[in-house]
């Protein structure tokens, strides 16, 4: 009996996941930077592109046997869904989130992101920039919740805008580099 290796014919799901992450992160952090209010616009984007698109990309990465991409996109997709549930709190009898619990929630995501950043040390520079700024973002947001500092929260917003823009750049770079068959946008 012989075993055959089959190569995946699934397209690269990373640009979809990165766009889902990047566009939603930019939008939410426009709010954190006090440029726009928190509204249904951010919640809807978080549910659809931040959540669903990243989860789909993560499942596709599992199919491609990419553990890093599968874990990152699926986990951060569910981050968005959990954040939306925290905001809307649809469960009667359950207390709304308080700043201390949000501080811990964001710190745990910062710790996870830090370990994922370590994984990017084997990846391209673009991935390292995205994850290092994401780690900083989560820890700044955590600190802002623990301290109640609006200044730290606003700084976190600008870090988040940079982080999201970095992910959008990486997504577009991967698409254009593949389409043109050469490096159009360095990653």
For position 3, what pLDDT does the model report? 47
Q: What are the tens digits of pLDDT across the range 137-185?
A: 999 999 999 999 999 999 999 999 999 999 999 999 999 999 999 989 9
Reading the block at residue 26, the tokens are 């930019």
Q: What are the tens digits of pLDDT across the range 117-132?
A: 999 999 999 999 999 9
What percent of the chain is predicted at pLDDT more than 70? 96
Exposure on the CB side of residue 133, measured as CA atoms within 13 A: 23
Measured at the alpha carbon of residue 46, what is the angle toward residues 94 and 152, in degrees to the nearest 5?
A: 80
Q: What are the tens digits of pLDDT across the range 19-43?
A: 999 999 999 999 999 999 999 999 9
Q: What are the tens digits of pLDDT across the range 45-88?
A: 999 999 999 999 999 999 999 999 999 999 999 999 999 999 99
């Amino acid at each position: 009996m012989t075993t055959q290796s089959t190569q995946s014919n699934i397209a690269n799901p990373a640009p979809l996941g990165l766009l889902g992450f990047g566009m939603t992160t930019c939008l939410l952090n426009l709010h954190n930077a006090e440029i726009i209010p928190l509204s249904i616009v951010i919640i809807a984007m978080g549910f659809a592109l931040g959540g669903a698109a990243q989860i789909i990309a993560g499942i596709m990465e599992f199919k491609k046997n990419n553990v890093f991409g599968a874990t990152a996109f699926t986990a951060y997709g569910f981050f968005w869904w959990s954040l939306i549930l925290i905001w809307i709190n649809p469960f009667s009898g359950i207390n709304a989130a308080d700043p201390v619990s949000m501080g811990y929630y964001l710190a745990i995501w910062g710790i996870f992101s830090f370990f994922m950043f370590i994984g990017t040390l084997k990846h391209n520079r673009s991935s390292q920039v995205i994850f290092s700024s994401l780690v900083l973002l989560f820890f700044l947001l955590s600190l802002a919740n623990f301290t109640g500092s609006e200044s730290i929260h606003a700084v976190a917003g600008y870090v988040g805008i940079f982080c999201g823009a970095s992910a959008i750049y990486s997504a577009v770079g991967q698409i254009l580099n593949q389409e043109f068959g050469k490096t159009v946008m360095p990653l």
